[in-house]
Amino acid sequence: MRLVAFEENGAARLGVCEDATVVDLATLGADLPTDLLAFIAGGKPAHDAVAAAVRTAGAAARRSLGDLRLLPPIPHPGKIICLGLNYVDHAAEGGHTKPEYPSFFLRSDTSLVAAGEPILRPRCSPKLDYEAELVAVVGKTARHVSKANALEYIAGYSCFNDGSIRDYQHFTGQWTIGKNFDRTGAFGPWFVTADELPPGAAGLAIQSRLNGEVMQSANTRDMIFAVDETVELLTECLTLEPGDVISMGTPGGVGQARKPPVFMKGGDVVEVEIERVGVLQNPVQDEI
C-alpha cells in the first residue's frame, strides 16, 4: 500500500495512492487514520481497515495525484537519523576507507521539503549537492533489538534527497550544519508499506538524475550497513519510536566528487528514483 500525505484548505490529509489516483481517507469514515503516524500506530487492524475502505471507495473519494499539494509523508518526525558513507564507492570518492561503524548524524524537520516543492539553494553558498537515499520509517518502539528481528520494527519505506551544503559541511569536524539548511532535504513522494517490498528494501535500483542526466546509479544491496543491522546498532544506543525516520546513505556519484564539481542551482530539476518505491522530483530554487 502507498500512502500519501497532502494538504487541502490548510489541513493535512491522508490518502492511498493507486497509480495516478489518490483515495482521500477523510471521505471514507471518521474511524480511519488521518495521518501516517496514526496509520502506523494502528498496526495491522488499521492497515486492513484502510484496505477494505479503499476497495469500495467511489469516484467522489478519488482525487488526481497531480492536483494535490503533497506533504512529507511524516512532516514532523521525532527523529531523522541519517547514515553517511554507507556505500563503498561514496566513501571512496570522499577519500574515506570502508567504515567499520556507521557515520550517524541527525537532521531537523525544518530541513524537510515535500515532493514537488522547491529545494532551496541558500544565499550563503553555491555548493548545494544531491544525495539519493532510501528511507526506512520506524513502526514500533525499539530498544536493544537484534538484527534477526529488526525488520519487524520497520513499517515501510520512502525516498529521500539528502541535500547537502558542502562547504558548510566541511567547516566543522561533524556534518550537522551542512545537512540542516532549511528546505534542503526532500522526502516522499509517499510511504510504501514494508509488505510491498523485499525484506529491508534490499536489491532495489536507486538513482539520482539532475535535469534528466543520471548522476548516481546503484542498488540498495550495496549498502554497507543494511536496514536490519542499522536498527540493531541504533537501538544499542537509543530508543526508536514510531514515525522516526532513518535515511540510509547515498551511493557514489555526488556532485562534489565530480571533476569539475556539479552543484544544483535555481531552475534545475532533481529526481531520486528507487525501484518499486517511487520517484521523488523537486525543482531547485535560489533563496531570495
Shared domain check, 62 and 114: no
- What is the predicted pLDDT for the residue at 101? 97
One-letter identity of residue 104: F
- How far apart, in whole angstroms, are the C-alpha atoms of residue 103 and residue 112? 20
Task: Tell me whether residue 242 is in a domain.
Answer: yes
Torsion of CA 108, 97, 217, 193, to 10 degrees: -50
CATH code, domain carrying 138: 3.90.850.10
- What is the predicted pLDDT for the residue at 96? 85
One-letter identity of residue 260: P
Task: State the alpha helices, DSSP H only, in 118-264.
Answer: 166-169, 227-237
Residue 190, domain extent: 80-286
Shared domain check, 40 and 107: no
- What is the predicted pLDDT for the residue at 77? 97
Shared domain check, 90 and 64: no
- What is the predicted pLDDT for the residue at 121? 98
In a 3-state reduction of DSSP, which class is residue 220?
Answer: helix
Shared domain check, 242 and 187: yes
- Computed on alpha carbons and rounded to an integer, the radius of gyration of the chain in Å comes to 18
- What is the predicted pLDDT for the residue at 91? 87
Shared domain check, 84 and 64: no
Provide the b/e sequence for 175-214 (b: ≥16 CB within 10 Å).
beebbbbebbbbbbbbbbbbeebeebbbebebbbbbeeee
In a 3-state reduction of DSSP, which class is residue 190?
Answer: strand
Host H or E run for residue 55: helix 43-55
Contacts of 195 by beta carbon, 8 Å cutoff, 6+ apart: 1
Task: Tell me whether residue 75 is in a domain.
Answer: no
Domains identified in the chain, total number = 2
Name the pTM for this structure: 0.97
| Residue located via cell numbers 496514526 | 38
- What is the predicted pLDDT for the residue at 94? 86
Query: Distance of alpha carbon 180 from its chain centroid, rounded?
Result: 15
- What is the predicted pLDDT for the residue at 95? 87
Among residues 39, 70, 101, the one where a domain terminates is: 70
Each of the 288 residues of the chain gets a pLDDT tens digit; together they read 999 999 999 999 999 999 999 999 999 999 999 999 999 999 999 999 999 999 999 999 999 999 999 999 999 999 999 999 999 999 888 888 899 999 999 999 999 999 999 999 999 999 999 999 999 999 999 999 999 999 999 999 999 999 999 999 999 989 999 999 999 999 999 999 999 999 999 999 999 999 999 999 999 999 999 999 999 999 999 999 999 999 999 999 999 999 999 999 999 999 999 999 999 999 999 999
- How far apart, in whole angstroms, are the C-alpha atoms of residue 70 and residue 5? 6
Shared domain check, 49 and 191: no
- What is the predicted pLDDT for the residue at 281? 98
Contact by Cβ (8 Å): 258, 94: no
**Whats the size of the chain, residue-wise?**
288
